[in-house]
Amino acid sequence: MRQRTWLLLLVAVVIVGSILIIATKPTILGLDLQGGSQLTLQAKPSEKVKQVTPEVMKGVAAVVEQRVNGLGVSEALVQLKGSDQVLVQLPGVKDPAQAERLLGDTAQLEFRKEVPGGKFEKTDLGGTDLTNAFPQALQGGQGWEVGIEFTGPGGDKFARITRELAGTGRRLGIFLDNKPISTPTVGVEFVDRGITGGKAVITGRFSAQEASELGIKLKAGALPVPVEVIENRTVSATLGADSVRQSLYTGIAGTILVLLFMIAFYRLPGLVADVALVIYGLTTFAIFKLVPVTLTLPGIAGFILSVGMAVDANVLIFERTKEELRSGKQLFTSVEAGFQRAFSSILDAHVTSLITCAVLFFLGTGLVKGFALTLAIGLLVNLFTAITVSRTFLLTMLNFSNLRKPALFGVTGVPAKAVR
């Protein structure tokens, strides 16, 4: 009895905690539900990298992911597609042109020295020598510049190059993808030591957005090979809203039918199963928000599938309970036996399904992973609600003598001792 009381308290805590999480945490929707941009980048060989290998593509994906993170887009997806493409999904991004500008450039930063004749020659200082890059407003608020910070060796290189140029009138060329973005001169005061401190700024009459995008590119580093945006598709938010609405209607209709079926066919245990199912839904949705899980259409499908398995577990238990009652056993004994004998079947079904989810999650991509994750969370929660919650509620209700009737379990014509 004491154990059952603790279990009831545990269920109450789970319910209250789930409601609080659902009320306070935002729901994260995927690209197919929220709308946004989807880009496909095609990697191309360059003079330095003659062949696009899997290792090169991993480098491309890593740089693209850092740039996407710089955009501040939540739950963006960056994944390899085929042998030489990268798929980028940006939920909530309504300006595909900005995403294309940010992701389509190689962003190869170079510092060059001007030589007699006005040409610029390359130096050993480049984007790989940076540790940070960030936009900052010019003094007086008349534009923006990009502040950069060098590594230790990079700072030494910068000091040496600026010392060589100081007072000569020759310029320091800052090139991005072979295009000059700033060509300042170095004052004579730096002729002895150059510009030390490992910091510099790139000026170029930038707007705030241009400075921000350049900072993101430089901080993420250069792509190992050039890429071309071969697809830039915008997913309409209207389509996402329609999908959410249709999924909601389908889920409500299906849930109501299941609840009515359980009550009509299993009577009192069916009512208990319905209550457990509502708790299951609250708990699972709260975990989705807590993890957080990005809800997509396949993810919702995984959740609905797990609801079906939650009902299936209760059906197994209650059918076993009916068999025990028909064999003439007492009500308490039949309920306990129903849960115990159905447990192995429920556990086997859930373990095999969880193994499938693990395979899909670790070998699948994108939406398949979302399906596997929501299904796996639903299955784990189901083990708690179908076994612990349903059993505790049902045994608690049997403490009331008016409810200790086999007819309330959908069984008639059983021996009198079954009602004790």
pLDDT at residue 283 in the model: 92
CA atoms of 172 and 121, how far apart (whole Å): 10
Most confident of 104-108, 212-216, 283-287, 388-392: 283-287
Angle, to 10 degrees, between the axis of helix 331-363 and the axis of helix 390-397? 170
Confidence of residue 27 (pLDDT cuts 50, 70, 90): confident
Q: What confidence tens digit (pLDDT) does each residue in 326-371 have? A: 888 888 888 888 888 888 888 898 899 999 999 988 887 667 888 8
Torsion of CA 378, 383, 386, 389, to 10 degrees: -110
Confidence of residue 305 (pLDDT cuts 50, 70, 90): confident
pLDDT at residue 45 in the model: 85
Domains and CATH numbers, the chain: 1-30+236-409 (1.20.1640.10), 36-104+227-234 (3.30.70.3400), 109-208 (3.30.1360.200)
pLDDT over threshold 80, residue 236: no
In contact, 408 and 267? CB cutoff 8 Å: yes
Question: How many CB atoms are located within 10 Å of the residue 243 CB?
Answer: 16
Task: Compute the residue count for the chain.
Answer: 420
| Tokens read off for 405 | 């009737």
CA atoms of 346 and 342, how far apart (whole Å): 6
CA atoms of 122 and 101, how far apart (whole Å): 25
pLDDT at residue 417 in the model: 53
Mean pLDDT value of segment 74-94: 79
| Tokens read off for 117 | 């004749």
What b-and-e string marks burial along 148-175, b requiring 16 or more CB atoms within 10 Å of the CB? bbbeeebbbbbbebbbebbeeebbbbbb
* Bigger pLDDT: 134 vs 242: 134
What b-and-e string marks burial along 253-278, b requiring 16 or more CB atoms within 10 Å of the CB? eebeebbeebbeebbbbbbbbbebbe
pLDDT at residue 21 in the model: 92
Q: Which of 12, 123, 63, 60 is nearest to 396 (CA)?
A: 12
- Residue with structure tokens 């595909």? 96
Range in 283-287, 321-325, 378-382 with the lowest mean pLDDT? 321-325
Report the chain's mean pLDDT, rounded to a whole number.
Answer: 82
CA atoms of 368 and 296, how far apart (whole Å): 10
- Residue with structure tokens 């208990």? 272
In the three-class reduction of DSSP (H, G, I as helix; E, B as strand; rest coil), residue 26 is classed as coil
Q: Which of 30, 28, 27, 99 is nearest to 237 (CA)?
A: 30
Q: What confidence tens digit (pLDDT) does each residue in 127-153 have? A: 778 888 888 888 776 788 888 888 899
pLDDT over 70 percentage in the chain:
93
CA atoms of 143 and 201, how far apart (whole Å): 13
